[in-house]
Structure 1
Amino acid sequence: MLSREAHAGVIGLGYVGLPLAMTVARNGFRVTGFDIDAAKIVSLEAGRSYIEAVPDAVVAAETAAGRFRSTTDFAGLADCDVIVICVPTPLTRHRDPDLSFVTRTTQAIAERLRPGQLIVLESTTYPGTTDDVVKPILERTGLASGADFFLGFSPEREDPGNRDFETSTIPKVVAGDGPDASRLMQAFYGAVVRTLVPVSSNGTAEAVKLTENIFRAVNIALVNELKVVYEAMGIDVWEVIEAAKTKPFGYMPFYPGPGLGGHCIPIDPFYLTWKSREYELPTRFIELAGEINSAMPKHVVTRLAEALDIHSGKALSRSKVLVIGLAYKKNVPDTRESPSLKLIELIEERGGATCYFDPHVPEIPPTREYGAFRGRRSVMLDEETVKGVDAVLISTDHDSVDYESLARWAPLIVDTRNVFHRKGVSAPHIVKA
């Protein structure tokens, strides 16, 4: 590792795996990326990236230099000295952890496991997964962790759309199963990131990631609840937050929205609530936060229906709504767990018609929950389109949207992101929700 002669394999070339693979390759390691999606491999072999955080030029350069290749053939895992698992960890329909991607990937590694390899899990999960789920699968080969192979956990900390940080500049929490694994983890990641944060165990490292996202989920739930209460009082929660954050100590601003999105905040807290049942301990704060955040799309649609009734006398069931933003956060194409999809579903369940505009998402990708929406395409955001709907619902506040023109054209706007106030645009037909 110190000489950069180790061959690294990264399994899962998505929002976590591809940036990691490019970072490792740029630091002089030979990297093989593995993914079951053949379309991704075709794109990468042509020097094209499908993730905004990784420019085409970086993929092309590392491929041309011979430091990066990608494949769907997992037989190549046998040649890797370090194998990093970056696969999804979603929830089941019953909101329980779904570790099927992790277990299948670990089984694929076990089939090729050899002495001397370092196996790393980066997928977010509950404390104990690395040692209690991954390790037994690998040790069924007859090889022992800490003696024949080495096992560690390092939580991913990617933030799509954040221009201030990239994989190499985000402090990296690392842990290993025993002292030798810990040293190897520090040697590997220390070669590719600027700052290491070693912790005592894999379980601790797993808990770090959950704590980060539970903190955010609980605080977002708090301001979402305050939003509903202050609305009833005729108080603008956004104005309250802006004033409160001028206090130079003891306060950190969080902002309300139409619901939680992304792979982390809506999902990670439920990993801990599930695991806590094993210890017969309740997680009331976390579960309440989940309930509040999950209720936000319904609250927004209720506000939309009320605004339509007041401003046009038209019921939602007879209205057409243009949803601005399909991605879960601004300036990215990531639709995972996006509240926009839930908003569209709720509007249509009430008889309304919808269309959407998103400059980053030209077409709705396939999802497990919203398969019926697959293939719907973004409309043009022009005067004719906007004047042809009864209301515009701001779900994601992409910077590239012309909000001034939107305010002139739209008969009614329901703004869940306070974007018009931030742009200095106010009018009677703009309603916050």
Structure 2
Amino acid sequence: MEKLVVVGQGYVGLPLAVRAVRAGFDVVGVEVDELRVKRLNAGQSYVEDVGDDALAAAHGTGRYRASADYADADGFDVCVITVPTPLTDGVPDLTHIASAGRSLAPLLRPGATVVLESTTYPGTTEEYLRPILEEGSGLRAPGDFHLGYSPERIDPGNPRWRLENTPKVVSGVDEASLAKVRAFYESVVERVVPVSSPQVAELCKLLENTFRHVNIALVNELSVFARQLGIDVWEAIDAASTKPFGYMRFTPGPGVGGHCLPIDPSYLSWKVKRSLGHSFRFVELANDVNEHMPAHVVDRLVLGLNERRKPVNGSRVLLLGLSYKRNTGDCRESPALEVARLLRRLGARVYAADPHVDLAFVPEGVAIAEPTAREAAAADAVVILTDHDCFDFAMVRRESAFVLDTRNRCRGPNVEVL
């Protein structure tokens, strides 16, 4: 039985670990957060795509355990690194990758396979991670151990596309490494897509998210201008979406959020600037547009209240949704949080309803409310920021004095859409 180590037990690493247990691996999930380790070993999942029942099934095999100690990774056959890669002061922060590499290096054995899944700039696997592993182990790749890159494609909360049925791009630093990486992922997912090098795979991930980021920026800016021109941008988008070729639907919103879209394109922009000396103008423009959308939402709310002879200072504002996407609780990097902070600075009395959200991320001064008719009626304005399916939008339209809808879920004389 092969031993798999998955470094990082977050929204990427935990689903992989649980899936690999089902595929027959003996799995150790290395997680530096000791509280998370205790919860996992107690059968309590904090990742929405892995329920407590799935975690219990993994534990029931006797082939899954979480650990904060890298010593428990010793003797691994395959190791997958799924640690965060944030931006720090606008610069890629590979601290977590470096830490994982230094901790794993002394445990590397000849013939073992290491795969990086963390989103990063092209060249990271070969130019950054490989030297760390080689220096700490005394081994070389290619030759002594296998090394590759496979971008994560997890879409939290997506009921259709999950880890096992989403095609997995795989790569290796040589043919032998690619064969090992490919064989591992073929055992846990339905389809793998091999590419010629880790740099291609790394660029693939950045291309996917930069494509989304740029197109979201396009419709966000279009929504601003369409309103000024007196045109319903949502009707135009619906009409354009009937075209069966050459068009893909994107919709406006209060900005972009999550683990990927606010960060990943900047990795690509940074690499282009550093290596080629050129600005990636599309990415920089998209960043500018999307970063200003929370302020635009607040400006629209201020204007809407002003038209109703109400100052934002002292007004009661109910925000529906703090997380960055429908039916998930993750609000890290959520534009809704910035909307809440801006409104608080303007003196608004801010309430927020989101049954999915982790309360630890709620901004200071924001009160938690239930999405009830009473709360909607009590508010001077209701702002729809995340269109969770559990919200009763017909009730919101009926009971609210004024609704600013950034998701196009309500229409009526008391409703303004973004």
CA shift digits 1:369-416 (9 cap, x unpaired): x6x57xx66312223322322111110000001112222222111000
2:417 partner amino acid: K
* Kept after mapping to 2: 8 A contact 1:412/1:430: yes
CA shift digits 1:301-335 (9 cap, x unpaired): 10000001112x11112212111101100101111
* 3-state SS of 1:158 partner: coil
2:371 partner amino acid: L
Bigger drift between 147-156 and 48-57 goes to 48-57
2:289 partner amino acid: I
Superposition map of 1:213-228 within 5 A: 213-228=209-224
Give yes or no for the alignment of 1:306 onto 2:303: yes
Structure 1 Cα separation of the partners of residues 122 and 367 of structure 2: 40
CA shift digits 1:343-382 (9 cap, x unpaired): 011111222221110010151338xxx6x57xx6631222
* Kept after mapping to 2: 8 A contact 1:12/1:34: yes
Structure 2 Cα separation of the partners of residues 362 and 78 of structure 1: 34
Structure 2 Cα separation of the partners of residues 239 and 27 of structure 1: 47
Equivalent in 192, 199, 204 of residue 196 of structure 1: 192
Match of 1:246 in 2: 242
Give yes or no for the alignment of 1:282 onto 2:276: no
* 3-state SS of 1:208 partner: helix
* Kept after mapping to 1: 8 A contact 2:75/2:109: no
Shift of 1:79: 2.1
Give yes or no for the alignment of 1:429 onto 2:418: no
- The percentage of aligned residue pairs carrying the same residue is 47
Give yes or no for the alignment of 1:388 onto 2:385: no
Shift of 1:283: 0.6
Give yes or no for the alignment of 1:318 onto 2:314: yes
Match of 1:406 in 2: 396
* Kept after mapping to 1: 8 A contact 2:332/2:361: no
CA shift digits 1:83-131 (9 cap, x unpaired): 1100111111x21111111111111111322222211100000000111
Match of 1:78 in 2: 74
2:282 partner amino acid: F
**Structure 2 stretches lacking a partner, 5+ long:** none
1:28 partner amino acid: G
Give yes or no for the alignment of 1:114 onto 2:109: yes
Equivalent in 338, 343, 347 of residue 342 of structure 1: 338
* Kept after mapping to 2: 8 A contact 1:348/1:354: yes
Residues 1:102 and 1:20: Cα distance change in structure 2 (over 3 Å): same
* Kept after mapping to 2: 8 A contact 1:363/1:377: no
Shift of 1:143: 1.0
Shift of 1:59: 0.7
1:101 partner amino acid: H
Structure 2 Cα separation of the partners of residues 281 and 115 of structure 1: 41
* Kept after mapping to 2: 8 A contact 1:387/1:409: yes
Match of 2:356 in 1: 360
Match of 1:64 in 2: 60
CA shift digits 1:136-192 (9 cap, x unpaired): 111113211112211110000000111001111100000011111111001111111
Shift of 1:202: 0.5
* Count of paired positions: 416
CA shift digits 1:37-67 (9 cap, x unpaired): 1222222222221122112111101111112
Match of 1:230 in 2: 226
Match of 2:121 in 1: 126
Match of 2:168 in 1: 172
Structure 1 Cα separation of the partners of residues 254 and 264 of structure 2: 19
Structure 2 Cα separation of the partners of residues 346 and 377 of structure 1: 15
* Kept after mapping to 1: 8 A contact 2:330/2:358: no
Structure 2 Cα separation of the partners of residues 275 and 247 of structure 1: 36
Scaled by the length of structure 2, what TM-score is found?
0.97
* Kept after mapping to 1: 8 A contact 2:113/2:180: yes
* 3-state SS of 2:359 partner: coil
Bigger drift between 146-155 and 200-209 goes to 146-155
CA shift digits 1:178-218 (9 cap, x unpaired): 11111100111111111110000001100000000000111
Match of 1:264 in 2: 260
* Kept after mapping to 1: 8 A contact 2:154/2:163: yes
* Kept after mapping to 1: 8 A contact 2:350/2:367: no
Give yes or no for the alignment of 1:105 onto 2:107: no
Structure 1 Cα separation of the partners of residues 46 and 360 of structure 2: 15
* Kept after mapping to 2: 8 A contact 1:362/1:377: no
2:383 partner amino acid: L
Structure 1 Cα separation of the partners of residues 367 and 306 of structure 2: 28
2:200 partner amino acid: T
